Structure 1
Amino acid sequence: MRDRYVLLGFDTLATRAGSTPAGAYGPPDDDWAGALCDALAASDTGRSATPDAVRPHLDLPWHHPDRMHPDRRGEDWWRHHESAFADALAAVGVPRRQADAVARTVREAYLDPDAWAAAEGAAAALDRLAAAGWEPLVYLNGPPEIDELLTAVGLDDQVGEAFTSALTGYELPHARAFETVEDALGDGRVWFATRDPAGAAAALDIGIPGVVVAPDGAVPPEARSVDGLAGLAAILEWK
C-alpha cells in the first residue's frame, strides 16, 4: 500500500502572538508585521508602531508566490530580507539608520519561542491523523528554521518531514512547491490542508485533494472543508 500523507500549511498548526506594552505576549497577531513591531519596541530607538501600520509596507516572497527564488539557508535568508524589513519600518517613520539596525534584530523577535503557540487542538488532531494511518507533514512559507518553530509549539515529535520555502525556493501555492514535496516523498498519496482557499484550489489544479480548514468565504469547487483541525482525519479518503 502506498504511504499516506497530509501536508499542512504551518499556519493551521501554530500562531504567533504580538507583544504587549508591558512586555508580555498577548493575543495572536500577524506574524511578520508583529515581529517587526516587537523588534522595534525592544530597540533603544524609543519608537513604536502597530502591525496594521507596518503590514501594507512589507514586501516578502510569499506576497508573490508565482515567482521562484533562489534557495537561501540560515543567515543568507535573513540577510536577504533585512532590506525589506527596514523598508517597512522606514515607511512608518523610523529613520533609515535606525530602521536598518532594527531590521537586523527581527530574526530574534520572530523566532522567540515564547511568542509561538500551537493552534487549539493541533496536537490532538495530529494524533488522530497518525492513528488513522496518515503521516502529517508541514510546509512553511518563510525562513529556514521550521524545525525550531515546531519545537517551540511542542509539535516536533508529531510531524514527519517539514518543508520551508526558504529551502525549496517556492512559496505556496506555487505548483512547484507541491511538486517538491511529492518528489521528496516518492510514491505516496498526499492531501493538502490549509486556511487559504487559493492554496486548496492550487493543489486541486495539480491533482492533490485540498481541504480548507476553518473556511472564511467560498470553498473552491471539489475542495473539502472543516471547521477546525479536529475534523480533518474524518474526511480524508484513501484513493
Structure 2
Amino acid sequence: MSLLTLTGVTPLTPRMVRMTFTGDGLADVGSWPDQQLKLLFPKPGGSALVSEAEDVGTWYQAYLAIPESERPWMRSFTVRRLADGVLTVDFVLHGDSGPASKWAATARPGDVIGRFGPSPDYARPLGTADLLIFAGDETALPAIASLLELLPSGQRRLAFVEVADPVEEQDVPGVRWVHRSAGDDLVSVVSQVEVPESVWVWLGGEASAVRSLRRHFVGLGVSKKDIEFAGYWRRALTQDDAPTPDDLAEAQERIASLTE
C-alpha cells in the first residue's frame, strides 16, 4: 500500500474530472488491459495510509483493524493511463453523496490519498473474436476508453456508453453515446445489437444493468467465458453497505468465470 500525491486536475465534462498522481512504486507497475486499483480517502483528521504490506490479505486485515471512525474510505477505480510513473484517474462527480466524489470536487494539487494496486494478479487479457462489444455507463467510460485504445485498427468493435446528456460526451472515437436525458438506457439500446457467432463482450457500470446485459448475451448463446463483467456500483447502495444476494451471486459468477 502506498500514498499518492495529486499533481494535476483537469475538468473533462461538467460531471467528470481527470486527475494525475505521482507516488512511490508507480514507475514499477507494468501495463495490462483494464487495470483496477483501490483508492483510499482519509476521514477528517485521519490518514490514508494503512500499511506498508503489499500482500492483499495482510494489507486488508490491517485495513479492517483500523477503528471505523479512523478507517479511510476505500473505493475501486480503473486506471485511465499509467506511464512514466504518472497515474491518471478519471472521477465521476455526482455531488457530495460519496467520499470519492466529494473529495474530487474540492481536491487540489498536493493533496494525498492512498492506493492499493493495480496488481498483475488480477490481470485479464482482452478477448479475441470477430466482434468485441463494450458497454457501460460513465463509471465504466475510463475503462472502455483505455481498452479501445489497445485494439488493432482492423478489429471490429462496438462500444456503448450511457451518460446523463450530450454535454457528458468525450472525444472517444467509435463510442455510441446513450443519453438518459433522451429517455434512453444502456440495457435497451445494447439489447438491440445483432450478435455474430464469434463475439467477446465487456460490461461495466451499475450492477443491475450489468447483470441484465450479461443474462441477455448468455441467452443469445454467448459463452460465459467470453463475457467480462463488473458491477462498479449499486443503485441506492455504496461499497460500504453489506453485499446483497445479487452481489454475492455476481461474485460467485466472476470467480467461476476465472476457472472456466
TM-score past 0.5 threshold:
no
- Identify, as 1 or 2, the structure richer in helix: 1
- Identify, as 1 or 2, the structure richer in strand: 2
TM range (shorter): 0.3 to 0.5
Query: TM-score of the superposition, structure 2-length normalised?
Result: 0.30
Q: Which has the higher contact order (CA 8 A, sep 6+)?
A: 1
